[in-house]
A and B are shown apart, each in its own frame.
Chain A
Amino acid sequence: MNDAGAAGWRQAVITRIEQRTARMRSYFLQAPLARHVAGQHLDVRLTAPDGYQARRSYSIASAPGVAEIELAIEWLDDGEVSGFFHDVAQPGDTIEVRGPLGGHFVWHAAQPGAVLLVAGGSGVVPLVSIARDWARAGTPDSMQLLHSARTWESLAYRHELQVVAATRPGFDYIATVTRGTAEPGAARYGRRIDGAMLEEVLARGPALPDVCYVCGANGFVDTAAQLLVAAGIAPRAIRTERYGG
């Protein structure tokens, strides 16, 4: 657990901020942390002048080993901490972070086998870290990423993932949007993830996935995980991470 103790809070400087979608921004951090594993998260702690503190967990989007750690934070309607990030935080600000944390929803480049990543909305963030690590590692096994979001514009990391799919054999990116219009010929589906869609996605891969990572809101993860089981994936091959509350 990489020095995550009570003394494990570290100061992190926000070096730059990048708008990802209308509701999501990436915060790049310079922080003295141990190298993370793709899929892990950081705890973030904010302190008010009177000592009041708030903390939240945010998934890491960057690949392991890069100079800056990227947290992609979605703006929530009454979000205490996400509100601070979107309304107040600027490059040069210092926040406190702890981690990297999490030992189950992780992918190692040395881990053999085909992978299916299934993301609902901002649940794509830890999966982007996994996809980036896969692209860097030159792993022989295939990886598919199925991302569901409301609109074409809200598919975070779409351009980057499309480029990986176009340039790296073995990587497959499938998008589906539940509202609005898909760009012609680009988004492959215009509906919620269902059994037929998953069957088609699985049929596109060279092999059935050895491990699936599902991340998103509670209801999305429940539905997607049960659909994967129904499609013949062993429950123990499915790892889930849920956002909520």
Chain B
Amino acid sequence: MTTRGFTGRRPGADAALRLPPGQHETDDFPVLSLGPAPVIDMANWRFTLRHGARPLASWNWEQFLALPRSTWRGDIHCVTTWSKFDTVWEGVMFDDLLAAAGIAAPTGFLLAQSHDEYDTNIPVADLTGGQAMVATHFGGAPLAPEHGGPARLLVPHLYFWKSAKWLRGLKFTERDEAGFWELRGYHMRGDPWREQRYTDDD
């Protein structure tokens, strides 16, 4: 359906190729969260891998920073329709976390768990092979609290609500269990190129 009088402001050729359907580019870095940034005591910060209730591996902040580090540069896409190009993140790849724990993923799904009771579900297949990291730095500086610092998940090929802020652990689950926004109408996977925004999108 054509909208009378709407001509639009098309992105340049390069941006058009990089923008998933329904997205527009922003220079800003908008924030999406369900409440205030939690106050996190770094002396007691721990990051834990779990299989259900059972801990598999755990690191304090010092130990976490000593894990192998990687840098990722690229575009991120928020379900609220903004995309931001050429962001630079530094942290620990999911593959390196599993290697450091000396395990293979015990199930095909997990829930990313946050300090503010937020969680989000992601298939393990979307995290392995250099696709995802636990980021501690953005743009060369420690991750600011409003952007999920001290550590957040980064799964840049999915809508950004999957990149859970204020991460405290990853919990492997037997089934694909809906997380916070997924229980409130958002898609179980969230591939921006397939425009998987809401529950009943394909």
Contact = CB atoms under 8 A, between A and B. Distances in A.
B28 A102 contact: no
Interface stretch (A66-74, A183-191, A231-239): A231-239
Interface string B157-189: 000000000000000000000001101110000
A225 interface: yes
Interface string A33-61: 00000000000011111001111110000
A31 B115 CA distance: 40
Nearest to A41: B80
Contacts of A49: 2, 7
Contacts of A1: 185, 198-200
Interface string B1-39: 111111111100000000001101010111111111111
A80 interface: yes
Interface in B30-88: 30-39, 78, 80-82, 84
A180 interface: no
A95 B37 CA distance: 36
Contact of A48 (B8, B34, B82): B8
B35 A222 contact: no
B33 to A, nearest CB: 6
Contact of B8 (A6, A80, A222): A80
A69 to B, nearest CB: 17
Contacts of A84: 3, 5-6
B8 A239 contact: no
A200 to B, nearest CB: 20
A5 B116 CA distance: 29
Contacts of A235: 35-36, 38, 116
Nearest to A224: B36
Contacts of B95: none
B201 A238 contact: no
Contacts of A6: 195, 200-202
Given A47-B6, A48-B8, A240-B34, A55 B201 contact: no
A49 B78 CA distance: 26
A239 B117 CA distance: 13
Contacts of B180: 104
Nearest to A225: B36
Contact of A93 (B3, B10, B32): B3
B8 A54 contact: yes
A8 B1 contact: no
A46 B9 CA distance: 11
Q: Which of B1, B3, B22, B80 has the most CB of A within 10 A?
A: B3
A238 B36 contact: yes
Contact of A218 (B24, B30, B81): B30
A229 B116 CA distance: 13
A73 B80 CA distance: 16
A228 B201 contact: no
B146 interface: yes
Contact of A236 (B6, B29, B117, B183): B117
Nearest to B84: A245
Given A4-B185, A6-B201, A218-B30, A238 B35 contact: yes
A48 B29 CA distance: 27
Nearest to B5: A88
Interface in A66-116: 80, 84, 88-89, 93-96, 101-104
A48 B6 contact: yes
Nearest to A222: B146
Minimum-distance CB pairs A-B, first 7? A103-B184, A244-B30, A5-B200, A225-B36, A245-B30, A245-B26, A1-B185
10 contacts: A84-B5, A88-B4, A96-B3, A102-B185, A103-B181, A225-B35, A236-B35, A242-B31, A245-B29, A245-B78
